């Protein structure tokens, strides 16, 4: 299969590229490098023995998108901006990149006859869960920030496109909290500046690059009072995309599928798991809740098991071990 990965040089895209290359697919990475680095190509070649094609370009460039789509069977659409806090201050940039970018991509797909799309959605579309675990039938529409709303808009746009074009197939993969790194330690999550997300922050505290972790809130209605999330190893997530490829080829219409482990770990549990994996102490302070955070979320991943034949296999210890292996190799 010829598979185009928009945003394929980023965290989740690059790990997915490994699984697809190892499965024998031809992979084209299309990325404007706004949040990634060209050195990823060398690393992918070292890991897989194959060098994917790379096109430096923006998804909002319709002509470049049409060229890139020549001979493509499936698009996996990772490209977008993803920092929740930043999206509150830069809504126009977020809607332009994420929503407008997806519209330009869809228009280019229509013009080139490509009808198969796998989209990076997020558990953020569920907003504050009324019940747990979250199934795909749970209500959406309560996202609390422009980033989350951009994901919801895109899901709805894709549903409309599928209604209008019966030959179109779109899978919205709703990721829970992807963490970890490839076991080689050559690629992983390496945000610029101070990390917003828990795991990259914890990894830098373990490495000594940051002095201590702030734990946002210990008065949530959870077993230890700290936030609970469904953390999933990025390589499990990558496997989920590979399993979605035959599904999107053999079916038409719109579908949403959760990708998570189906169980939650608290912030304190993650700290302890990371300490065990790294052998490093993680100093932390309990501070106020972070605005916009929910207490807990985890999913029911049975639809992915039923329809894609996929379920997560890596444990929280694997996630912390691989994240530390990546972090500790850095200067
Ligand atoms: P990432 O920032 O590492 O990767 C995104 C890639 O897209 C980057 O390489 C960036 O350079 C590229 N990009 C951004 N805007 C672009 C544009 N206009 N044109 C071309 N390329 C562009 O992020 P990630 O963690 O790999 O996330 C991938 C997707 O998954 C995103 O859509 C994100 O919203 C979604 N997602 C991520 C998480 C998470 O926790 N990481 C959770 C849920 C959903
Ligand atoms: N947390 C801390 N200290 C930190 C960072 C995070 O205590 O320095 C806590 C948060 O309060 C939360 C938990 O760790 O309880 C997880 O926080 P993250 O920021 O790692 O992840 P979120 O669940 O807030 O959001 C992430 C992505 C979103 C995505 C969502 C679901 O940032 O883009 O997962 O996939 F939508």
* Residue 3 pLDDT exceeds 90: yes
Closest ligand to Cα 199: 2
| pLDDT tens-digit readout, 117-173 | 999 999 999 999 999 999 999 999 778 899 999 999 999 999 999 999 999 999 999
Catalytic residue among 95, 147, 201, 265: 147
Ligand 1 centre and the CA of 79: distance in Å?
Answer: 5
Ligand 2 centre and the CA of 198: distance in Å?
Answer: 6
* Residue 39 pLDDT exceeds 80: yes
Predicted pLDDT at 94: 97
**Phi, psi for residue 256 in degrees, rounded to 5:** -115, 135
Give the residue with greater pLDDT, 34 vs 330. 34
Predicted pLDDT at 292: 85
- Residue 197 alpha carbon, nearest atom of ligand 1: 40
Residue for token pair 């993680």 = 282
Element (H, E) at 273: helix 267-278
What's the mean pLDDT in 226-243? 98
Predicted pLDDT at 5: 98
Average pLDDT, the chain: 97
Predicted pLDDT at 141: 76
Predicted pLDDT at 142: 75
What's the mean pLDDT in 246-265? 98
What sign for the dihedral angle of Cα 223, 259, 143, 292?
positive
Closest ligand to Cα 154: 1
CA–CA separation, 255 vs 15, rounded Å? 23
What sign for the dihedral angle of Cα 223, 229, 235, 237?
positive
- 30 an active-site residue? no
Predicted pLDDT at 123: 96
Predicted pLDDT at 313: 98
Residue 175: CB within 6 Å of ligand 2? yes
Closest ligand to Cα 58: 1
| pLDDT tens-digit readout, 84-124 | 889 999 999 999 999 999 999 999 999 999 999 999 999 99
| pLDDT tens-digit readout, 269-325 | 999 999 999 999 999 999 999 988 999 999 999 999 999 999 999 999 999 999 999
CA 93 to mean position of chain CA atoms? 19
Question: What would you measure as the largest C-alpha separation in the chain, in angstroms?
Answer: 55
Specify the pTM. Answer: 0.98
Predicted pLDDT at 305: 98
Residue 6: CB within 6 Å of ligand 2? no
Give the closest residue (by CA) to ligand 2 atom 14: 198
Residue for token pair 């019966």 = 166
């Amino acid at each position: 299969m010829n598979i185009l990965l928009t945003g394929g040089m980023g965290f989740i895209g690059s790990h997915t590229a490994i699984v697809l290359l190892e499965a024998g697919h031809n992979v084209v990475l299309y990325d404007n490098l706004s949040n990634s680095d060209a050195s990823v190509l060398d690393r992918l070649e070292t890991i897989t023995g194959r060098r994917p094609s790379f096109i430096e370009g923006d998804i909002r460039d319709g002509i470049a998108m049409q060229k890139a789509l020549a001979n493509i069977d499936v698009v996996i659409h990772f490209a977008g901006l993803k920092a929740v806090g930043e999206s509150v201050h830069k809504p126009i940039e977020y809607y332009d990149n994420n929503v407008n970018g997806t519209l330009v991509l869809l228009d280019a797909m229509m013009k080139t006859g490509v009808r198969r799309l796998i989209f990076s959605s997020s558990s953020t579309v569920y907003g504050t869960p009324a019940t747990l675990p979250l199934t795909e039938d749970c209500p959406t529409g309560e996202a609390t920030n422009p980033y989350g709303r951009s994901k919801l808009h895109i899901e709805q746009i894709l549903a409309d496109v599928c209604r209008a074009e019966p030959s179109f197939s779109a899978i919205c993969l709703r990721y829970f909290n992807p963490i970890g790194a490839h076991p080689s330690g050559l690629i992983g999550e390496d945000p610029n500046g101070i990390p917003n997300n828990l795991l990259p922050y914890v990894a830098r505290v373990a490495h000594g690059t940051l002095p201590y972790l702030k734990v946002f809130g210990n008065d949530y209605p959870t077993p230890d009072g700290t936030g609970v999330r469904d953390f999933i190893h990025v390589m499990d997530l990558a496997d989920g995309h590979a399993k979605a490829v035959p599904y999107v080829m053999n079916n038409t219409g719109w579908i949403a599928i959760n990708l998570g482990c189906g169980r939650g770990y608290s912030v304190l549990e993650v700290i302890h798991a990371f300490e065990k994996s790294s052998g490093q102490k993680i100093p932390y302070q309990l501070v106020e809740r972070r605005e916009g955070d929910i207490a807990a979320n985890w999913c029911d991943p049975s639809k992915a098991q039923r329809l894609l034949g996929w379920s997560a296999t890596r444990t929280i210890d694997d996630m912390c071990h691989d994240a530390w292996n990546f972090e500790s190799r850095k200067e």
